[in-house]
Amino acid sequence: MNLEHLKQEVLEANLDLVKKDLVISTWGNVSGYDPESNLMVIKASGVPYVKMSTKDMVIVDMEGKVLEGNARPSTDTPTHILLYKAFAKNGIHGIVHTHSQYATMWAQLGRSIPCYGTTHGDYYYGPIPCTRELTTEEIQTEYEVNTGKVIIEALEATDCLHMSASLVKHHGPFVWGKDAEEAVLHSQVLEYIAKMAYCNETLDPRLQPIPGVLEDKHYSRKFGPNAYYGQK
């Protein structure tokens, strides 16, 4: 992919976070990965969305070295890099981190989000995992890298295609997709699901997750090998 095109794509995805009410202030970030060059574009650190342009998109290599851009890349850059190293081979080329309110509430509780209905099952196969707590040493040494490591660890029971999100305990969600645009969509869906799950448990603390057979049906008809949702 042309990197100028990727910079525009990542800029639009970052601005879309604001339109979808997933970020405020300078919080959050979107990145995009180009498999041909093995390079990543990510927004600059601490730049207000209202002033953001392609000049605030930073190109870095997979070791975190800045190749283009005068600004410092997002502080979460090492987390994005580690996730691409683990997931890009599966076609994951876009990553989003937000502090969206309801998903972050579950992260602060240190709880995975149970699958309570077909809306969840249409996009996420199984509970949306929450990572374990980082140790003191992991926080004090290579914090952002270790954040990526616990996300990968939390997905050991599934894979990055069936589960395109993880909550980081005490922190917030990281979400991914085939490109930056899809990753933003998955972030929006995650927030919608997180809010519904919160309301479900508030209304009925004894609520049980959706029956497995129904969850399987909804996920497989959209993403399974014999999927029939949508148009060919």
Going by C-alpha positions, the residue among 43, 32, 20 that lies closest to residue 185 is 20
Q: Position 231: which residue type?
A: Q
Contact criterion met (CB below 8 Å) for 196 and 119: yes
Phi and psi torsions of 155, nearest 5°: -95, 10
- Give ∠ CA 131-137-142 in degrees, rounded to 5: 80
Q: How far is CA 53 from the centre of its chain?
A: 22
Is 122 catalytic? The answer is: yes
| Distance between CA atoms of residues 223 and 49, nearest Å | 33
Of the listed 34, 122, 192, 216, which one is catalytic?
Answer: 122
Alpha-carbon span 17 to 54, nearest angstrom: 16
Rounded to 5, what percent of the chain is helix, strand, coil?
Answer: 45, 15, 40
Q: Which residues are catalytic?
A: 122, 229
